[in-house]
C-alpha cells in the first residue's frame, strides 16, 4: 500500500472504531435508560447527536493538529540528519540572541569535513549516506537543548553553543575542538580516518545578529581551509580587514567598469613552423587612480566573487571590437583573437545568446573569435558544455582550453568536447628543459591533441631554448615574452602591418 494511503488509513481508523462502537452501544444504552418514555428518548437522541459531533470534532482537531505539526517540523528539519535548515537556524539564533544579554557569550561554529569527496569514495555511496545520518543523530544526542544545530551543506554543519562557564568564555577553543570531535565520531566509528576544518565566531565580540555571526564563522572557515586540513580558526579582525580590502577593490572595479576605465593589451601568438603571427590573446588591463597597474590575477577573482564578470567581459569585448576597428585590423591581417571568460560566465543559462550578441559586430570580419575557458569550467557540467560549445561553433566561434594540464581533465571527456585548441599551462613550459616530467606532459598533450585534431599553443615561452623545445614536441604555436609581451593596440597593429615573422625581443 502506498505510504500516503497507509497514513490516511491510520488517521481514519480511530474514527471508524468510535463510529461503530457508538452505533452499537449508544442506542442500546439509551433504550435501557429511558425504558418506554418516548419524549425522553427524543431529547436524549438529540443530546447524543450533539455529543457525537463534539467528540468527533475534538478528535478531528487533535488528529489534524498533530499531523500538521509533524509536517511543519519535517519542513524545518533536514530529512537526512534531522538538523535545522539554515533559514530556521538563523531565525532561532536571532531569537536566542535577543534573549541573551551581552554578558552571556555564545560560540557559533561551522564544521566541514576535509576532502568529503575522497571520504565518500572510500566509504561508498550507501555507507557515506548512512554516516551523514549518524552524524545528525550523534550531534543531537550530544548537545543540550539550548544549543542549535543546523546542516548547511552536504558535509557542513553549524552549531551555536552558549558558553556557560567563565572558563569556556575565556578559552572557547576546547569547546570548538570537542564539538569537532563529536562531529567526526560517526566517521571514525565507520572506520574512516577523516578530519574536519572549523570556523568559529563569538557573540557578542564578532557580531550581534545571526547573519553577521554566520558570515564571520564562514570567513574563519575559509581561513582554516587555506591553512590545510584539520584546522580550526577563530574569526579575527585581520580577516575582516582582508575582506574589507576585497570589498573595497570590488567597489573600485565596479566604478572602473562603469567609467570604461579598463583597457586591453594584445599578446601575439606565432606559428612554430615559421614564427608568422597566427592570432593574439586579449588581456584586460586596469591602472588604478594612483597610476599603478592592478593585475588581472588580483582583480578577476574579485570580479568573480562580487558578480562583476559579465559587466567586465562586456567592456572587454566592446573594447576589443572598437580597438580592432580603429586600428584597421579588420582587413585580414589578424587571423584570430582569443578572449578569456571565467567559469561562472560560461555556466550561465543564457551564455550562448549573450556571447552571440556580444560578438555580433564581428560576425562578418575575417577574424576568428575564440573563447578561452579553463578545463574546470568545461568539465563542471560536461553535457551542457558540449551543447554550448557546439552551438557557438556553428556560429563560427572557436574554443580553447586554457591552462591545460593543471586541472583534472579526464581524457575521455576531452574526446567529447568540441574545442579547437589546447593551451599548455605556463608552469610546464617554464620547466620544460629542466624537469623531465614537464617535458613528458608537454609531449603527451601534443600527442593527445594530434589524435583529436586539436591545435596546441605553448604559453609563457620566455627563452629560445623553450621555443626550440616546444617546436620539437610538435606544439603548433607559441605565445610568450620571448616573442612579444602583451602590447597596446597601436604597437600590436604596427607589428602586424610590418609583416613577416615575429622576431625575438632581443632582436628588436
Interface residues toward ligand C2E, by CB under 6 A: 267, 283-284, 295-297, 300, 316, 340-342, 372, 402-403, 426, 460-462, 480-481, 486
Instruction: Give the integer Cα–Cα distance in Å for 240 and 305.
Output: 16
403 lies in the binding site for Ca ion (CB under 5 A) = yes
Which residue, 276 or 283, is less far from ligand C2E as judged by CB? 283
CB of 464 to Ca ion, least distance (A): 21
Residue 478 binds: one of ligand C2E, Ca ion, none (C-beta under 5 to 8 A by kind): none
Residue 284 binds: one of ligand C2E, Ca ion, none (C-beta under 5 to 8 A by kind): ligand C2E
421 lies in the binding site for Ca ion (CB under 5 A) = no
CB of 105 to ligand C2E, least distance (A): 44
Which residue, 219 or 409, is less far from Ca ion as judged by CB? 409
Instruction: Give the integer Cα–Cα distance in Å for 479 and 400.
Output: 14
DSSP state of 83: P
Site for Ca ion in 321-360 (CB under 5 A): 340
Sign of the dihedral through C-alpha 239, 244, 247, 249? negative
Which residue, 81 or 267, is less far from ligand C2E as judged by CB? 267
Paired with 267 in beta bridges are 281
Which residue, 138 or 319, is less far from ligand C2E as judged by CB? 319
Instruction: Give the integer Cα–Cα distance in Å for 496 and 487.
Output: 12
Residue 267 binds: one of ligand C2E, Ca ion, none (C-beta under 5 to 8 A by kind): ligand C2E
Which residue in 78, 206, 402, 477 binds Ca ion (CB under 5 A)? 402
Half-sphere exposure of 484 (CA within 13 A, CB side): 24
Site for Ca ion in 228-257 (CB under 5 A): none
CB of 322 to ligand C2E, least distance (A): 15
Residue 481 binds: one of ligand C2E, Ca ion, none (C-beta under 5 to 8 A by kind): ligand C2E
Give me the phi and psi of 87, to 5 degrees please: -60, -45
Residue 476 binds: one of ligand C2E, Ca ion, none (C-beta under 5 to 8 A by kind): none
CB of 282 to ligand C2E, least distance (A): 6
Which residue, 296 or 318, is less far from ligand C2E as judged by CB? 296
Residue 262 binds: one of ligand C2E, Ca ion, none (C-beta under 5 to 8 A by kind): none
Residue 263 binds: one of Ca ion, ligand C2E, none (C-beta under 5 to 8 A by kind): none
The three cell numbers locating residue 350? 543564457
Sign of the dihedral through C-alpha 456, 457, 461, 465? positive
Residues 278 and 263: beta-carbon distance below 8 Å? no
Please calculate the CA angle 301-302-304 and round it to the nearest 5 degrees: 65
Which residue, 337 or 362, is less far from Ca ion as judged by CB? 337
Residue 316 binds: one of ligand C2E, Ca ion, none (C-beta under 5 to 8 A by kind): ligand C2E
The three cell numbers locating residue 272? 612554430
Neighbours of 498 (CB within 10 A): 10
Which residue, 403 or 476, is less far from Ca ion as judged by CB? 403
Instruction: Give the integer Cα–Cα distance in Å for 296 and 256.
Output: 13
CB of 69 to ligand C2E, least distance (A): 51
CB of 464 to ligand C2E, least distance (A): 12
Instruction: Give the integer Cα–Cα distance in Å for 68 and 146.
Output: 25
Which residue, 169 or 368, is less far from ligand C2E as judged by CB? 368
Give me the phi and psi of 279, to 5 degrees please: 170, -165
Instruction: Give the integer Cα–Cα distance in Å for 313 and 369.
Output: 14
Sign of the dihedral through C-alpha 299, 304, 307, 313? positive
CB of 328 to ligand C2E, least distance (A): 22
The three cell numbers locating residue 388? 554550448
Which residue, 162 or 405, is less far from Ca ion as judged by CB? 405
Paired with 197 in beta bridges are 112
398 lies in the binding site for Ca ion (CB under 5 A) = no
CB of 204 to Ca ion, least distance (A): 47
CB of 342 to ligand C2E, least distance (A): 5
Site for Ca ion in 362-381 (CB under 5 A): 372
Instruction: Give the integer Cα–Cα distance in Å for 265 and 492.
Output: 9
CB of 340 to Ca ion, least distance (A): 5
Which residue, 146 or 464, is less far from ligand C2E as judged by CB? 464
CA distances from 173 to 50, 105, 170 (A): 64, 13, 9
Peptide bond into 204 cis (omega under 30): yes
The DSSP H or E segment spanning 52 is: helix 38-76
Instruction: Give the integer Cα–Cα distance in Å for 108 and 110.
Output: 7
The site for Ca ion (CB under 5 A) is made up of: 340, 372, 402-403
Amino acid at each position: 500500500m502506498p505510504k500516503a494511503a497507509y497514513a490516511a488509513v491510520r488517521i481514519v481508523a480511530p474514527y471508524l472504531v468510535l463510529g461503530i462502537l457508538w452505533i452499537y452501544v449508544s442506542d442500546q444504552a439509551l433504550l435501557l435508560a429511558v425504558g418506554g418514555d418516548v419524549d425522553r428518548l427524543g431529547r436524549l437522541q438529540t443530546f447524543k447527536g450533539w455529543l457525537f459531533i463534539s467528540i468527533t470534532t475534538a478528535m478531528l482537531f487533535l488528529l489534524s493538529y498533530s499531523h500538521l505539526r509533524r509536517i511543519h517540523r519535517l519542513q524545518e528539519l533536514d530529512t537526512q540528519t534531522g538538523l535545522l535548515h539554515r533559514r530556521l537556524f538563523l531565525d532561532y539564533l536571532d531569537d536566542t540572541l535577543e534573549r541573551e544579554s551581552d554578558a552571556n557569550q555564545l560560540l557559533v561554529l561551522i564544521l566541514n569535513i576535509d576532502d568529503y569527496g575522497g571520504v565518500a569514495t572510500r566509504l561508498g555511496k550507501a555507507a557515506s549516506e548512512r554516516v551523514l545520518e549518524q552524524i545528525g543523530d550523534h550531534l543531537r544526542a550530544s548537545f543540550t537543548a539550548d544549543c542549535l544545530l543546523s546542516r548547511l551543506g552536504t558535509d557542513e554543519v553549524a552549531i551555536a553553543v552558549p558558553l556557560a562557564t567563565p572558563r569556556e568564555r575565556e578559552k572557547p577553543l576546547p569547546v570548538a575542538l570537542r564539538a569537532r570531535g563529536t562531529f567526526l565520531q560517526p566517521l571514525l566509528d565507520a572506520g574512516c580516518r577523516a578530519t574536519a576544518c572549523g570556523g568559529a565566531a563569538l557573540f557578542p565580540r564578532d557580531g550581534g545578529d545571526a547573519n553577521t555571526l554566520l558570515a564571520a564563522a564562514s570567513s574563519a572557515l575559509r581561513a582554516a581551509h587555506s591553512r590545510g586540513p584539520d584546522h580550526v580558526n577563530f574569526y579575527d579582525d585581520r580577516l575582516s580587514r582582508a575582506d574589507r580590502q576585497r570589498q573595497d577593490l570590488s567597489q573600485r572595479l565596479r566604478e572602473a567598469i562603469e567609467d570604461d576605465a579598463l583597457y586591453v593589451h594584445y599578446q601575439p601568438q606565432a606559428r612554430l613552423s615559421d614564427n608568422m603571427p597566427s592570432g593574439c590573446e586579449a588581456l584586460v588591463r586596469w591602472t588604478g587612480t594612483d597610476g599603478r597597474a592592478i593585475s588581472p590575477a588580483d582583480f578577476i577573482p574579485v570580479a568573480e566573487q562580487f558578480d562583476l564578470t559579465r559587466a567586465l567581459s562586456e567592456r572587454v569585448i566592446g573594447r576589443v571590437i572598437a580597438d580592432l576597428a580603429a586600428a584597421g585590423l579588420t582587413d585580414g591581417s589578424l587571423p584570430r583573437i582569443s578572449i578569456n571568460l571565467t567559469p561562472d560566465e560560461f555556466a550561465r543559462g543564457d551564455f550562448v545568446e549573450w556571447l552571440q550578441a556580444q560578438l555580433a559586430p564581428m560576425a562578418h570580419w575575417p577574424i576568428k573569435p575564440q573563447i578561452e575557458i579553463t578545463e574546470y569550467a568545461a568539465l563542471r557540467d560536461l553535457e551542457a558544455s558540449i551543447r554550448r560549445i557546439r552551438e557557438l561553433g556553428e556560429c563560427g566561434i572557436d574554443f580553447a582550453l586554457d591552462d591545460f594540464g593543471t586541472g583534472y581533465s579526464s581524457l575521455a571527456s576531452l574526446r567529447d568536447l568540441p574545442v579547437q585548441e589546447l593551451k599548455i599551462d605556463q608552469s610546464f613550459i617554464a620547466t620544460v628543459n629542466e624537469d623531465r616530467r614537464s617535458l613528458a606532459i608537454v609531449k603527451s598533450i601534443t600527442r593527445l591533441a594530434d589524435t583529436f585534431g586539436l591545435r596546441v599553443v605553448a604559453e609563457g615561452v620566455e627563452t629560445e631554448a623553450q621555443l626550440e623545445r616546444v617546436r620539437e614536441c610538435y606544439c603548433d604555436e607559441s605565445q610568450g615574452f620571448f616573442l612579444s609581451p602583451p602590447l597596446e593596440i597601436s604597437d600590436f597593429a604596427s607589428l602586424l602591418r610590418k609583416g613577416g615573422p615575429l622576431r625575438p625581443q632581443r632582436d628588436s
